Amino acid sequence: MVDINLFGTVIPTIVLSEIMAKQGYGSIVNISSMAAKQTISRVLGYSMAKAGVDIFTKWMANELASKFSDKIRVNAIAPGFFIGNQNRRLLTNEDGSFTDRGEKIITNTPMGRFGDASELNGMVHYLLSDASSFVTGTIYDIDGGFSSFSGV
């Protein structure tokens, strides 16, 4: 879990940052998770790896901007809950209804639904564009309000 979810981010980021340091500009967008921000049962290794991605993103943003160029940026997106092949059985039953876990997530997501993967595109485009030229070291939650809701 840690190899793919932490080192699968660290290694490519280091390789790409070397290229960006030579050319003097670039933008890296890492993938974090809601699991890095608060406890989610049954995913400890994943949570630990994604928390590592968060601090690594902030650290690399500082390193690259201060040592090489203010035109090199490193940020991350932290997707909330999206149904994909990997987690479909955890979140939905065969009839399409939500599992208990799926219901808990929806209950704690103010928008009352799972995200669609296409809803990540806008933030990624923003972070890769010049519109975010003064943004680095930030992790953006894309979660339908999940991270802002206390359950009350």
- pLDDT by residue (tens digit) across 83-104? 999 899 999 999 999 999 999 9
- What pLDDT, on a 0 to 100 scale, did the predictor assign at position 151? 84
Whole-angstrom distance, CA of residue 48 vs CA of residue 53: 9
Taking residue 21's Cβ as centre, other Cβ atoms within 10 Å add up to 16
Q: Which residues contact 133 (CB under 8 A, 6 or more apart)?
A: 71, 73
Taking residue 131's Cβ as centre, other Cβ atoms within 10 Å add up to 10
Task: Give the residues of the chain that fall short of pLDDT 50.
Answer: none
Q: Catalytic positions, please?
A: 46
φ, ψ for residue 129, nearest 5 deg: -95, 170
Q: Which residues contact 35 (CB under 8 A, 6 or more apart)?
A: 43, 46, 47, 50
